[in-house]
Amino acid sequence: MSDAMRDFDVVVIGSGAGGGAVAWRLTQAGKSVLILEKGPWLKEEDFKKDELACCRHSIFTPNLADEQHVLEQEQEGEWQATPTSESGWSFWNGNLVGGSSNLMSGFFYRLKPEDFRLLSEFGPIAGANVADWPISYAELEPYYALVEREVGVSGKVVAHRFAEPRSTADFPQPPTQEHPMAQRIDQACKALSYQALPTPRAILSQPIHGRRSCEYSGFCGSYGCASGAKGSSRAALLDRAVATGRCQIWSDSQVTKLHSDSRGKVISAEYVGFDNQVRQVSAKVFVVACQAVETSRLLLASRGPKHPNGLGNNYQQLGKNLLFSAGGAGSGDWLYEDLPPSERAELSVRGPFVNRQLQDWYFVDAPELGGRAKGGTIDFLLRHPNILGSASAQKWDDNGQLVWGASLQNRLKSAIGGRQTLNYEVFNDWLPTDNCFVGLDGSVKDRWGQSVAKVRLGYHPHDLKVGAFLSEKAKNVLRQMGAKNIRGSVSGSPPSNLMAGGCRFGSDIRTSVLDADCRMHDCENLYVADGSFMPTGGSVTYTWTIYANALRVADKIVSAL
């Protein structure tokens, strides 16, 4: 092992929305930054619309034989642990410079003021560890606005009863192009007395900062963006940070441990480079932003004289209160054979976005939910144009039998070219519980010999009640629109692309890992800047809040330095 190098003010581990935002903001303040990223450094020209590469070979995530997780789920009252190399359920979200922000759909929502005081607003829920945040919406609002400008958020602000306060009148980017389906949603919602709202997107409708605007290929979610229009950490912030000359990115560098001294202070990060050599690098300040599960794993593995159970785990809070996004999904079809040619041509358009959402039930007073309660958000989107996904499902009939020959050909033709499908997604709070957390597995190791994360995936029954309530509202819209084959489901199985928690911030070291500045309570030079800090997740996607908070944390680091 080489001697530790000290060439940087700050070392950032991970380069997604949290790590990228911190690095960019620090370089703007004149600080020197090193980013250690386990994945490769891909650019726009590398993001081909290759369905086999994306969705069969999983080129943006590790091989599960080399790097995996162990997932615990409850079966018949017992917790059963299964390595993902056996189940095939990849819990990775994107290992590359810019992280999973390269592959997001870019639905960007702010939390609302009430989300910061969920316990105070709605009271306790039995079996849930609901807590108020140690900061307010007002403290984060300027950073939401900063993300709008610097990352680039497109949309249109429309007044509605649950609209959050804003310091700016509208988004800096006008809405992206809209699919004809959006007008149909508007009409149906109006007939139902629902208020359809434009969905803000981290997708450029106009070029900025050397990035091109959206080119409307239709391949957005799960794919990298070939134009730079998507507001990934890499395209929006890291390229600019590197251009200052004050930021270096060392890709293909897996951090295995943070070393701390007898005072509990972090002195170096140990990492394995592309050449499989183990090295260390030191700095004044360290920032961990590996996405929730892997951030907790790294800190649990980083034992030291003052942190015998892992950094930040002296009160057994590290990895606890892991969050995902609760809710469900559904869809409805428009069969082209039932439509006149003009409507068929209209609905078969590919490329523009639907960009419609409902927040009529973000807060509700419903007997089935126990009275006044948190609801959530409904998003509408067209089915993904990935042909492989649609085709693969056609090989089995309704009885689970393989389909062959002409019957299979007809099913393929109908699935791929015979209809348009409108999907909906429901987002509501995943309540933190004692049965959703990250630990270290005692026997399964990754290719570097490190214990992999063992993740218990417990959910609260209230999550399903809220998800089902919202799902029925979404189905009402599809019915009003005249869709066929309307279906939907609500599940306690978590979406791995929406994760937070594990390093909850708060004012009490006995119940939280980080202070209000996202600095570890008992480690003065260690911060966490991804979604791990969140005590509760709100009823929206997390990325905008992660970006905003990371910029806030960067300003705290500048002051500390």
Summarised one tens digit per residue, pLDDT across range 235-273 is 999 999 999 999 999 999 999 999 999 999 999 999 999
Q: What's the rounded Cα separation, in Å, for the pair 171 and 151?
A: 12
Q: Is the pLDDT of residue 3 over 50?
A: no
Mean pLDDT in residue range 73-101: 95
- Residues 455, 72: contact at Cβ < 8 Å? yes
Whole-number average pLDDT of the chain: 94
Tokens of 493: 């199985």
Do the strands 500-501 and 322-323 form a parallel or antiparallel pair, or are they unpaired?
antiparallel
Mean pLDDT in residue range 328-334: 96
- Residues 173, 199: contact at Cβ < 8 Å? no
Q: What's the rounded Cα separation, in Å, for the pair 442 and 6?
A: 33
What is the share, in percent, of the chain residues with pLDDT greater than 70? Answer: 98
User: Is the whole-model pTM more than 0.85?
Assistant: yes
Three-state DSSP class for residue 8: strand
Q: What's the rounded Cα separation, in Å, for the pair 528 and 503?
A: 8
pLDDT attached to residue 56 = 60
What is the share, in percent, of the chain residues with pLDDT greater than 90? Answer: 87
Q: What's the rounded Cα separation, in Å, for the pair 164 and 111?
A: 8
Domains in the chain (CATH in brackets) are 5-65+72-560 (3.50.50.60)
Tokens of 215: 């080119």
pLDDT attached to residue 48 = 83
Count Cβ atoms within 10 A of the Cβ of residue 273 and give its class: 0-12 exposed, 13-18 middle, 19 or more buried. Answer: middle
Q: How confident is the model at residue 55 (pLDDT cuts 50, 70, 90)?
A: low
Q: What's the rounded Cα separation, in Å, for the pair 469 and 504?
A: 28
pLDDT attached to residue 35 = 98
pLDDT attached to residue 41 = 97
pLDDT attached to residue 57 = 60
Tokens of 364: 């509700």
- Residues 142, 443: contact at Cβ < 8 Å? no
Q: Is the pLDDT of residue 317 over 70?
A: yes
Mean pLDDT in residue range 323-339: 96
What is the CB neighbour count within 10 angstroms for residue 440? 17
More confident residue, 384 or 305: 305
Concatenated DSSP letters of 123-180: ---TT------SS-HHHHHHHHHHHIIIII-B------TTPPP-SSSS-SBPPPPB-T
Sequence-ordered list of residues with C-beta below 8 angstroms from that of 430, at least 6 positions apart, any chain = 323, 324, 325, 326, 436, 459, 460, 463, 494, 537
**Range from 52-56, 134-138, 330-334 carrying the lowest mean pLDDT:** 52-56
Mean pLDDT in residue range 436-456: 97
pLDDT attached to residue 128 = 98
